[in-house]
Amino acid sequence: MAKLPAEFEVVIDKLVFGGEGLGYFEGRPIFVVGVLPGERVLVAPAKVTGKFAQARLLKIIKPSPIRLEPKETQYLSTSPWQITPVANQQQFKIDLVKEVFSKFATLPLPDVALTPSTSEWGYRNKMEFSFAVDEQNKLVLAFHQRYSWKRFVAVAEVKIAHPMISTVAHKILLELRQRNIPLTVLKNLLVRYSHHQNKCIAALYVVDAEFTPFNIDLPELSGWLIVYSDPKSPIAKTTKILCQVKSATLVEQLGDKLFQYSYESFFQVNPPSFNLCAQRMRELAQPHPTSPWEGEGQLLSPPFQETVGPTESPPFQGGVGGGLLVDLYAGAGVIGMLLSDKYQKVVIVEFDPAGTIAAKENIQLNQLDNIELIGGRAEKEGLPSILAGADTVVVDPPREGLHQKVVEKIIEAKSSQLIYLSCNPATQARDWKLLSTQYKATHWELFDFYPQTPHVESLIVATIKK
């Protein structure tokens, strides 16, 4: 195909799964973020392949009648769907999820409902900021521009995040300016918020192992860390903690339970809306009332025995319900623990060491005596024996979806019920194509955890085919 010009116009035909708009220029598909169907826009090539291109939005030439003015300058990096009312966003999400299931599998059910978020703005409890310098060579908080790791856009406020997050981030930025900390040693700033504590925790990631630590005393902070992160890694991940003041964890309430998690652990980013989803899972979970689990309660942690350490288990009494629940990809153990009172026994499987530690602490924090914790990758930790006799299997995997071996073992186990919560309906659809050979959907629902963005959570509840 011919080389694309430096700037060109394109008419957006439709939105595709993932939130980009699709148009065509001289027969080549062009994908653009921050546009709506029917709009004519001016764009510049950003990433070009032989078959298609992704382009940066420069100007709206002919706007859609449902377009709104964005509330932020960096909206393309954080929340590109704030350009249209939430009701329109929700319909787009329903249509795109149904389209992706039709493409990769079959619809679990003919129709799918969508439960709105409890808040349209200020819902995120976690933000990770980059750093840049402005025209006056002043240090600023920034996000990467869409389709680029080299271009940055300065951040004044992140309106989809809880307001305290922006407040804390800018106070830390001011401290960095006053200390003349150079951009070259900075990597990222992570700020997380707890509704339960009404506090934040902040971690400053630096690329200099000899960085001189300092404390920052803010009333909004329950913990402050300075972390050395290997500069060879593109992501902000702890190599060594250089400084820790107060706590490295937050505590959040979900349902009637408290959950502690570390600054780097996975945790739900919209807890109030997740509560709605958890309540739906509680309503639909079907323990077998006549098959009590016979065994002893215990906390296990292979293969991270040295990290987690031995644990004294409380006397095993079991939940008020019957049967066995197995929670795979469990993270801090949230779903399994919220359903634990409905089952005689719950087995939680989580491979991440930080998640395993958090799950262990949360079992003790909530004084749960019918949970067994297994630390290990779900696809490697003897799944047939773990799934044996399970009445309900719960999976909440990362965006990559279920490992194929996990799908195979779930199918082989033929548990009575499967609950599959997904943050990526595309990989859920891929998995459902196989799972639907043995399972029949009884409930399908979307949860809008992420207003102003294309992302949506998908919940499928299914029972084994007779």
SS (H, E, C) 261-317: EECCCCCCCCHHHHHHHHHHHHHHCCCCCCCCCCCCCCECCCCCHHHHCCCCCCCCC
Q: Tell me the C-alpha distance between 364 and 258, whole Å.
A: 10
| Residue 249 backbone dihedrals phi, psi, to 5 degrees | -130, 160
Q: Among all chains, which residue has been given the structure tokens 């709206």?
A: 60
Is 350 one of the annotated binding-site residues?
A: yes
Angle at the Cα of 189 from the Cα atoms of 187 and 192, rounded to 5 degrees: 150
Comparing C-alpha atoms, which of 249, 241, 466 is closest to residue 365?
249
3-state DSSP assignment of residue 360: helix
CB atoms near residue 328 (< 10 Å): 29
Torsion of CA 32, 34, 36, 38, to 10 degrees: -50
Identity at 41, one-letter amino acid code = V
| Catalytic (active site) residue 277 | no
Q: Which of 200, 243, 277, 423 is catalytic?
A: 423
Comparing C-alpha atoms, which of 209, 211, 198, 93 is closest to residue 450?
93
CB atoms near residue 199 (< 10 Å): 21
Q: Among all chains, which residue has been given the structure tokens 């029972």?
A: 463
- Pairing status of strand 324-328 against strand 392-395: parallel
Identity at 220, one-letter amino acid code = E
**Strand ranges in 16-125 using DSSP code E only, listed in sequence order:** 21-25, 28-32, 40-48, 53-62, 113-115
Is 343 one of the annotated binding-site residues?
A: no
Torsion region of 398: left, alpha or beta (phi above 0 gives left; psi -120 to 50 gives alpha)? beta
> For 138-288, where are the alpha helices, taking DSSP H only?
163-178, 271-284
The answer to whether 325 and 347 are in contact (CB under 8 A) is: yes
Angle at the Cα of 254 from the Cα atoms of 338 and 286, rounded to 5 degrees: 25
HSE-up (13 A, CA, CB side) for residue 195: 21
Binding residues, as ranges, are 268, 329, 350, 396
* Binding residue positions for S-adenosyl-L-methionine: 268, 329, 350, 396
Active site residues: 423
